[in-house]
Amino acid sequence: MRKRTRILLGLLGLALLAAFAVPYGLELVRSAQRPATPARDFVGVGQVTHLQRLWPTSRCRITLELVQWSSLGSGFTLADLPQAGERYVMYADAPACGCLTPETSLNQAFRAVQSSEGRWYLELYRPAAACQEVTSHE
């Protein structure tokens, strides 16, 4: 009887682990994929309001308040043009994540690329001054 109970508890533990680990793993895989061909893109200036590191990858999830956009790629309609003052959630690679902080009030020039799934990926044109100072002393 005790052996059956231990086996049953072990199987229950494995089922719970799988129930939590599988969706998390799928989200990591999806967030790590970069679009092969962008659905849409735009160039703009914005301010980072929130940054969340995506463990165990070196990527991050960014909330960025758009100050203004300067050029648009194809695929935008009048109804879905990027709006100044709106906040957008974007994902970035390790180099950009290391240069971005919500604590500074610096505006960042960036290019945003939207994947066919609808996710926005951020690429920095010019790193923040604080990041340039850190990387130049290494």
- Is the pLDDT assigned to residue 114 strictly greater than 50? yes
What CATH architecture does domain 40-136 belong to? Answer: Beta Barrel (2.40)
pLDDT band at 137 (very low <50, low <70, confident <90, very high): very low
Sign of the dihedral through C-alpha 138, 60, 37, 110: negative
| Residue 109 neighbours by CB under 8 Å, 6+ apart | 43, 44, 45, 124, 125, 126
pTM recorded for the entire structure: 0.63
CB atoms within 10 A of CB 62: 25
Domain boundaries, the chain: 40-136
